[in-house]
Amino acid sequence: MNSKIVVAHRGASGYLPEHTMEAKAMAYAMNPDFIEQDLVLSKDDVPVVIHDIYLDDVTDVAVKFPSRKREDDRYYVIDFTFEELQSLHVSERFDPKTGEQFYPSRFPKGKGSFKLHSLQQEIELIQGLNKSTGKSIGIYPEIKNPEFHLKNGKDIAQITIEVLSEYGYTTKKDNCIFQCFDAKELERVRKELKSDLFLVQLIEFPEETKQLDHFATYADGIGPWYKQVIDKKVNGKWQFTSLVEDAHK
């Protein structure tokens, strides 16, 4: 199989603040196959579309709620209700200590009027656009740090699966690819929560590329770091590792 799919990572994140509705609408207009959603739960169990369990590197939480940080000086999505989260202003990613924008050539930090939103709101945007344009662009949700959520008394996998089901995403045919870095949790999604979605095991560390046999017992694919796929240049040409071939086997 040689067909490739294009995934809008965090939306059109090179052009607008990542994971905002505006970044998703622009991504949609660029015709990808899928648009990605990173998910973290709010205090009142709403799956919020944001890249990390922290708020202080993409919002003005430190200005609006200065007293709500934890002992490590970080502000956590899970400590705020969805209503509180929606009062925050989202901007281009920055260093919370210095305030410096990570990618200076991207959308200017602090400009515009961007907000956080829920998985439900984003699905409604994408499904609504599918209806009004006649396209069929899929969703690509990723649950972030399920172990942290469980330690804080929340089951992000189950809550997310329920929301996806409500919107018609239940099987491999439903234009939804579900991903996670936590192998134990992704296996649980398949075996304990009995999800029939297309599951992708994200892999970060070199030793994980040796666990393909196990991943294949519950996942439909892997999401490796690009350096696990591309090896080195020989005579100006990139050489590839055996990972793709191994995964196909």
Which one from 19, 51, 117, 149 is the annotated catalytic residue? 51
Q: How far apart are CA 184 and CA 189, in angstroms?
A: 9
Q: Is 51 one of the catalytic residues?
A: yes
Element (H, E) at 207: none
Q: Which of 178, 144, 175, 183 is nearest to 162 (CA)?
A: 178
Tokens of 182: 């936590």
Which one from 9, 19, 117, 149 is the annotated catalytic residue? 9
Q: How far apart are CA 248 and CA 53, in angstroms?
A: 33
Residue partners of 196: CB distance under 8 A and separation at least 6: 170, 171, 172
* Axis-axis angle for helices 21-29, 119-133 (nearest 10): 30
Supply angle C-alpha 162, 36, 245, rounded to 5. 105
**DSSP annotation of 194:** -
* Axis-axis angle for helices 156-166, 183-191 (nearest 10): 50
Q: How far apart are CA 146 and CA 132, in angstroms?
A: 35
Q: Is 117 one of the catalytic residues?
A: no
Tokens of 184: 């134990």
The residue assigned the tokens 């965090």 is 10
Q: What amino acid positions are annotated as catalytic residues?
A: 9, 51
